[in-house]
Chains A and B, each alone.
Chain A
Amino acid sequence: MTVTDSELDEYWNAVDAELAALPARPVRDRIPRRCTADFTGYEVRLTSIGPYRIFGYLSVPTGEGPFPALLTTPRYGSVNNPPHYNDRLRYVTLTIAHRGQRTADSPYAAAYPGLLTDGIADPAGYVYRGIVADCLRAAEYLAALPEVDASRVAVVGDDLALITAARRPVFAALQLTGTLLQRGAEQADADYPAAEFGDHLRAHPGDADAVRRTLAFFDAGRHAAAVTAAARVEIPGVPTTLAERLGAERYTLTRHGQADNDAADAWLAARFGVPAMSRFSRAAS
């Protein structure tokens, strides 16, 4: 069951309209244990659609800004770590917890497994509609902070980062690490979390068309054309066809994890004019 371009636009324009009608009403609390001479750590709370209150870890470097900024969209899972120390030295960093994740799990607590298929038979009720809205709200908040250099804002993550970049053209850089929703739905024999799709269809075989239709609204390939940020994608986590649509720089993972981490760090650092840093350093202390 296909989704037309106009249906896609209508769906996401409705999300934008809901967000626009709801003030974010941010609350920003300084967290002393996450402050050093080099940066100040905060916890923030924002209103997203629902209305629903979401959570974020914010950190701002010490010194005269504005600074480049980095939005990390939530991983699949109940927990997101606060931004890494190295990133906090160089960027205004914001890592959010979407609705259902710890620190944003009241009144809705996501189930693992279960999140990926929560409400999936109805595009309007699919939990990821709200989760994307949470990411869009975070992008709006970060880009508007006075400490942020609006010409140097990046977003990092999976499908959520791509859709966020597509719907909010405030980003100069996009680092795409994978495509959970798109690839997972295509892999019938996948392990968890993508196995959630197969579990749902085994229990509800009549939902197959509805699931396909819902996921079409989240198809990264359909959103790629709207991305204006310079993109870097990691292969094989991201399909090459999607990389082509993004006009992205492709990085083939070496599977040497720290080497791959360092390469990702260096790409963004060079683009934003800050020093590259490895997380593995014996000078850390």
Chain B
Amino acid sequence: MTQVDVNVFRPDDFDDFWDSTLKRVAKVPLRPSFEYVTERSTDDVAVFDVHYDSWDGVRISGWYAVPREAGPHPALMLVPGYISEPVIPRSWARKGYAAFAVAPRGKLRSNQRFNPGYPGLLVDNIADPNTYAYRGFYVDAVRAVDAVLTRPEVDADRVGVHGSSQGGALTITTAALLPDVVTCGAAGAPYLCGFMDSAKLTHSYPYEEINEYLRDHPDHEQRVAETVGYYDGINFAPNIQAPMLVYIGLEDDVCPPETGFAVHEAMKCEKELLTYERCGHDAGNHWAMEKVEAFLAGHLGVAR
């Protein structure tokens, strides 16, 4: 299992596409709001219901949990999996982070204007890179960083990103799109890497959505490959400057391990890869999380 098993089309204008995307969204006022939520807060953690504006003016939601003790605190961006809703990150706040769990567009609390459904998101407008669903979705994670950095108790020099599966993908894309901001990233079982090969390697969802789409549109394979080239984590990986921890299961039926090797190989930053035999999409979580927590704490200056 090496990167040679994974072939990804990289458009010539990949960097320009994302530069122009970020420039365009920068013109959208962020309009962040942080509303304190009494019933979800505890003696040691304050919880806020967060909203901000993103790509195409879509209002995005998130949960922000922060220690009640005085800051500055490092920010930890928690990016969600494909079918999961963001969990209020109280447990991370208890560890000392200003923790932000973002719900990109299409998630329940961010789907008033954009709701392709699940299954559905992966192939929504996949025939056109300019309107593909993940364009706004990736930007929503970037804008979440902008939102958390408006908080006075957050130390802007310490920003971590962490997630697994789609959260692993968003860890990679966010670190690549904000190379001067993100301090470190921990990506489990990264999804959205090697889309086309993945759909051939597995029949598990979400990649099975691509196989289903191609059953309906058998002549679209080339168009789909061109679109997802703009969104592939393997193409983002070389732009990352922050240290990265990647962990994968060697029998992951959801995000093929070949693609985990490939995205790690494509990173030019300081990096580490953890692999777990007989593990699937859990990505060795039982053993990996202790290392993830140590990695984040070490780079973000949190006592353990």
Binding site for B on A (CB under 8 A): 32-36, 77-82, 84-86, 102-103, 109, 111-113, 191-193, 195, 199-200, 202-203, 254-259, 261, 278-282, 284-285
* Inter-subunit contact A195/B90 (CB<8 Å): yes
CB-CB < 8 A to B157: which residues of A?
none
In the assembled complex, how far is the CB of residue B44 from the closest CB belonging to chain A, in whole angstroms?
12
* Inter-subunit contact A112/B85 (CB<8 Å): yes
* Inter-subunit contact A33/B282 (CB<8 Å): no
Bound-state Cα–Cα, A112 to B107, Å: 11
* Inter-subunit contact B252/A285 (CB<8 Å): no
CB-CB < 8 A to A261: which residues of B?
253, 280
CB-CB < 8 A to B87: which residues of A?
113, 191-193
Residue from the list A35, A113, A200, A254 in contact with B88, Cβ < 8 A = A113
Interface string of B37-62 (1 = CB under 8 A from A): 01110100000000000000000000
Interface string of B273-304 (1 = CB under 8 A from A): 00011111111011100000000000000000
Q: Is B113 located at the chain interface by the 8 A CB criterion?
A: no
Bound-state Cα–Cα, A255 to B289, Å: 13
CB-CB < 8 A to B282: which residues of A?
255, 257
CB-CB < 8 A to B281: which residues of A?
257
Give the interface centre of A33, A78, A255 by most chain B CB atoms within 10 Å: A33
* Inter-subunit contact A284/B279 (CB<8 Å): no
* Inter-subunit contact A284/B90 (CB<8 Å): no
Q: Can you name 28 A-B residue pairings with CB atoms under 8 Å?
A: A32-B215, A35-B215, A36-B215, A77-B83, A78-B108, A79-B84, A79-B118, A82-B119, A84-B203, A84-B205, A85-B204, A86-B203, A112-B108, A113-B40, A203-B39, A257-B278, A257-B280, A257-B282, A257-B283, A258-B251, A258-B252, A259-B251, A259-B278, A259-B279, A278-B253, A280-B251, A280-B252, A281-B253
CB-CB < 8 A to B279: which residues of A?
255-259
Bound-state Cα–Cα, A285 to B253, Å: 12
Residue from the list B39, B88, B252 in contact with A192, Cβ < 8 A = B88
In the assembled complex, how far is the CB of residue A168 from the closest CB belonging to chain B, in whole angstroms?
27
Q: Is B202 located at the chain interface by the 8 A CB criterion?
A: yes
Give residues 196-210 of B contacting A (CB, 8 Å): 200-206, 208
CB-CB < 8 A to B33: which residues of A?
none
Bound-state Cα–Cα, A112 to B87, Å: 8
Could you list 11 further interchain pairs (A-B, Cβ under 8 angstroms) beyond the known A86-B203, A256-B276, A280-B280?
A78-B85, A79-B118, A85-B203, A103-B117, A192-B90, A255-B282, A256-B277, A258-B251, A279-B202, A280-B252, A284-B202
Interface size in chain B (residues, C-beta < 8 A):
42
* Inter-subunit contact B200/A285 (CB<8 Å): yes
In the assembled complex, how far is the CB of residue B267 from the closest CB belonging to chain A, in whole angstroms?
24
Q: Is B219 located at the chain interface by the 8 A CB criterion?
A: no
What is the count of residue pairs linking A and B with beta-carbon distances less than 8 angstroms? 107
CB-CB < 8 A to A193: which residues of B?
87
Binding site for A on B (CB under 8 A): 38-40, 42, 83-85, 87-88, 90-91, 108, 117-119, 200-206, 208, 212-213, 215-216, 249, 251-253, 276-283, 285-287
In the assembled complex, how far is the CB of residue A186 from the closest CB belonging to chain B, in whole angstroms?
18
Give the interface centre of B90, B216, B251 by most chain A CB atoms within 10 Å: B251
CB-CB < 8 A to B200: which residues of A?
285
Nearest residue (CB) in A for B205 is A81
Nearest residue (CB) in B for A261 is B280
Residue from the list A77, A85, A254, A258 in contact with B85, Cβ < 8 A = A77
* Inter-subunit contact B203/A284 (CB<8 Å): yes
In the assembled complex, how far is the CB of residue B94 from the closest CB belonging to chain A, in whole angstroms?
10
Bound-state Cα–Cα, A78 to B201, Å: 27
CB-CB < 8 A to A199: which residues of B?
39-40
CB-CB < 8 A to A259: which residues of B?
251, 278-279
Residue from the list A86, A202, A282 in contact with B39, Cβ < 8 A = A202
In the assembled complex, how far is the CB of residue B145 from the closest CB belonging to chain A, in whole angstroms?
23
CB-CB < 8 A to B212: which residues of A?
33-34
CB-CB < 8 A to A279: which residues of B?
202-204, 253, 280
Bound-state Cα–Cα, A258 to B277, Å: 9
Nearest residue (CB) in A for B123 is A33
In the assembled complex, how far is the CB of residue A69 from the closest CB belonging to chain B, in whole angstroms?
20
* Inter-subunit contact B278/A258 (CB<8 Å): yes
Bound-state Cα–Cα, A103 to B286, Å: 32
CB-CB < 8 A to A84: which residues of B?
203-205
* Inter-subunit contact B117/A102 (CB<8 Å): yes
In the assembled complex, how far is the CB of residue A38 from the closest CB belonging to chain B, in whole angstroms?
11
Bound-state Cα–Cα, A282 to B253, Å: 10
CB-CB < 8 A to B249: which residues of A?
257-258
* Inter-subunit contact B39/A32 (CB<8 Å): no
CB-CB < 8 A to A81: which residues of B?
83, 119, 205-206
Give the interface centre of A258, A259, A285 by most chain B CB atoms within 10 Å: A258
CB-CB < 8 A to B280: which residues of A?
257-258, 261, 279-280
Residue from the list A32, A113, A281 in contact with B216, Cβ < 8 A = A32
